[in-house]
Amino acid sequence: MKRWDQRPFEVRNLFNPAFCGLVLFRSLQGFEEENPDGMPFSLALLVLPLCLHKDSREIISGSPRSYLLKTVESNPHLLVGFADRTKDLLPYAFEALGFSMQLGCFEVTQDGRLKTVPSRVRKTVTGTTESIACQRVARIVGKEFARIADRVTIYTTLGIRP
């Protein structure tokens, strides 16, 4: 990964560690609404590719009451390039997790799950329409991951090998 000052302007804005960390935090909050034990680390790596990709975000936000597995089944084009997007976004996810961890926004439990720390991030969702959409979809994704409750099923459905 390039140093911060050597990255293109667009990359610095879109993959800003603070913004990506906020998206991940919203997903962790959504997960904890269904399962207070926290999100497994491996699932957190799938959040950014689902939430930052505009087509994926629109499909997921267009059916917030539908199950994620059913949404993926109804929209197989959602999976086109998903594995590559996930692989490409891994460094940014790690950077965002490190930044958020440094700020004390979440903690890692003994069994490797990520849990939010209360009162570290504002509860209100603010920002541009794009950033608000990313945060709202992140919450939906987190809740759906908790409802599915099986990492293998999630990875297999999304066409990724763990």
Per the structure, the complete domain to which residue 87 belongs is given by 11-157
pLDDT tens digit sequence for 113-154: 999 998 888 888 888 899 999 999 999 999 999 999 999 999
Residue 24 covered by a domain: yes
Q: Strands, E, within the chain: which ranges?
A: 39-40, 106-108, 113-116
> Is there a domain that residue 3 lies in?
no
Count structural domains, the chain: 1
What's the confidence (pLDDT) of residue 109? Answer: 94
**162 is a domain residue:** no
Q: What mean pLDDT, rounded, does the chain reach?
A: 90
- Over residues 83-106, the pLDDT tens digits come to 999 999 999 999 999 999 999 999
- Average pLDDT (59-87) is 88
pLDDT > 80? residue 1: no
* Residue 151 in domain: yes
Which residue has better confidence, 9 or 23? 23
Report yes or no on 145 lying in a domain. yes
**For residue 162, is pLDDT > 70?**
no
Dihedral of alpha carbons 66, 53, 92, 10, sign: negative
Q: What is the mean pLDDT of residues 5-15?
A: 81
Residue in 54, 48, 61, 146 with CA at minimum distance from that of residue 90: 48
SS3 (DSSP) at 8: coil
